[in-house]
Amino acid sequence: MSNCITRHIPNTVTCCNLLSGCVAIVMAHQGCYQAALGFIVLGAIFDFFDGLLARALKAYSPLGKELDSLADDVTFGVAPAMMVFSLMHEVALPAWLAPVAGLLPYAAFLIAAFSALRLAKFNIDTRQTTSFIGLPTPANALFWGSLIVGAHDFLVADTLAFLYLIILVLLTSWLLVAEIPMFSLKFKNLSWRDNKVQFIFLLGCIPLVLFLQLAGLAAVIIWYALLSLLTQRKS
């Protein structure tokens, strides 16, 4: 009886991630960006613990693997895409883009599509056991959520913000599936030699968050991608 219960615990936590993503989508559609970001972060917490519980309880299953990817695409793909979609209806638009003003916001859903591609690749890629190939979907969702919440007033006021957003959508969509190795934040131990990249990353995060506050989280993701590129070139 206990085994029957425990094997469903990780999937239950995964469903909590999925539900968090659904609520984040509703909040984003209503323009409640802080709440949407909060539910994305909550989903990330559930996403962390479902894998931890699966390992601790030895409750691995093909169903759990597929459910996890589905939940992740909702929370870290569709939810941030909806945040961008809603924001694009608020930002000032250059006059020359007026004829396609109603169509351009739908480009935001490229984030959801490429997040799904990234998750599908991750499921079948044996290279990603200790590190990542391409930008992880939670990192991409955190980038968009913190950018929209932290820099909302600037984005709404700037007449070129629409173009910035389109460029960032294309760039982050590419990063999700790019063949770029990105380091994991898992520490092997506490020695500087074995975890030099992770320590450098964390030290660089401190001033970004202190000076830029919530928008600094978006800068942290950019720092993560840049450091991954720099360390890859050296290796």
Q: What is the pLDDT of residues 20-69, one digit of tens each?
A: 999 999 999 999 999 999 999 999 999 888 777 766 766 667 777 788 88
What average pLDDT score do residues 179-202 get?
78
Highest mean pLDDT among 1-10, 72-81, 157-166, 174-183: 72-81
Would the pLDDT of 195 be above 70?
yes
State the pLDDT at residue 128.
62
State the pLDDT at residue 1.
45
Output the CA torsion 108→110→112→116 (10° steps). -170
Is 2-180 a CATH 2.30.40.10 domain? no
In the chain, where the domains are located: 2-180
Highest mean pLDDT among 76-80, 127-131, 180-184, 206-210: 76-80
| Residue with the larger pLDDT of the pair 130 and 223 | 223
| Residue with the larger pLDDT of the pair 160 and 141 | 141
Q: Is 146 exposed, middle or buried (0-12, 13-18, 19+ CB in 10 A)?
A: buried
pTM, to two decimals: 0.86
